[in-house]
Structure 1
């Protein structure tokens, strides 16, 4: 019974978090606003989280851990950024669209984008290429590649995920294969 209540409370807190993020942003969010909207008392909130930053940290960890898990799935570890894995990440983002969109359209956008780019870079570095001797000096090489890929995801989210997963995958693959001049010509 206790776990059911805790799960219900966390769902209500998350729903309130998303709604407040959409209307006020994170900086103006307060525990009072969360608890009022979630119809729980402050004590219930504090049983689950230290403060709003702890709540945000848990949400971010869950999102980025899931994306990392998808990309590092053992069956196809050789191809970390394969089409199948990118489609799985897109599917995950779509299935959590309310939360993901709220985060990206809020005052947390830059932080989320930076964390996404760093996640891609870290996965790539740990499992792949000679990132220490790129043809373009670091940190420029990493910022160009992983910042651009994360920007594609962020743009898609900000545009209400209008493109289908296949269309977004085609955009990402085109970016990966074409030079900047080719993209614009």
Structure 2
């Protein structure tokens, strides 16, 4: 599902994505935005008081798209990783995540770029972890995973590695499909770090 909004808002979102590919976010002005979107300046002010408000709304919409239905999916992912030796049971969970990002790939790419919003990647990781912890069952929250690593440490490790893969994917010259990246994330949940660099038998 793509971003939702009025026709004018969707034009502004698309124009902002294009502008991010042309200049740093700090150089983009309302004039740049409305000219690129082909809408009147007054139309912009029908929705937003200023550019920071526009950017916040856009980022919130992107994160909401990730959040929709994610409570259950992310809990399923962590539980399946713990109890299931079969990666195929986890793959659909991560496919939902990568497909949600692929739906708005260019916006995620540009916002997490060097000239984008440096806080957005942090917001993305925070969103993922908050979704999980806000609904985590008490017995799972208090559980110790990975040879005495407490849950409150294990969860950030779990999500930071996923985010690292996603950010690498977003900024590749020839990015893989959402399906391929979901497979990579799934495999990474079941491979110890020291095994990543082992030569094949």
Say whether the 8 Å CA contact 1:121–1:146 is kept in structure 2. Answer: yes
Distance change in 2, residues 1:160/1:88 (3 Å): farther
Which residue is 1:158 aligned to?
Answer: 171
Partners of 1:99 and 1:125 lie apart in 2 by 27
Say whether the 8 Å CA contact 1:149–1:172 is kept in structure 2. Answer: yes
Which residue is 2:84 aligned to?
Answer: none
Structure 2 stretches lacking a partner, 5+ long: 79-89
Which residue is 2:49 aligned to?
Answer: 50
Which residue is 1:101 aligned to?
Answer: 109
Distance change in 2, residues 1:131/1:21 (3 Å): farther
What are the Cα deviations for residues 131-175 of structure 1, in whole angstroms up to 9, with x where unaligned? Answer: 686634687544422211111111111115622333212211222
Distance change in 2, residues 1:160/1:86 (3 Å): farther
Partners of 1:132 and 1:59 lie apart in 2 by 37
Partners of 2:74 and 2:168 lie apart in 1 by 27
Say whether the 8 Å CA contact 2:110–2:116 is kept in structure 1. Answer: no
Q: Please give the TM-score of this superposition, normalised by the length of structure 1.
A: 0.81
Relative contact order, higher structure (CA 8 A, sep 6+): 2
Say whether the 8 Å CA contact 1:18–1:98 is kept in structure 2. Answer: yes
Partners of 1:59 and 1:70 lie apart in 2 by 19
What are the Cα deviations for residues 21-75 of structure 1, in whole angstroms up to 9, with x where unaligned? Answer: 11112111111111222222221111111111111111111111121113235xx
**How big is the alpha-carbon RMSD for the aligned residues of Structure 1 and Structure 2?**
2.6
Partners of 1:110 and 1:132 lie apart in 2 by 33
Which residue is 1:180 aligned to?
Answer: 193
Which residue is 1:167 aligned to?
Answer: 180
Partners of 1:142 and 1:77 lie apart in 2 by 11
Which residue is 2:32 aligned to?
Answer: 33
Q: Please give the TM-score of this superposition, normalised by the length of structure 2.
A: 0.75
Aligned residues: 178
Partners of 2:117 and 2:196 lie apart in 1 by 26
**Bigger helix fraction:** 1
Distance change in 2, residues 1:80/1:181 (3 Å): closer
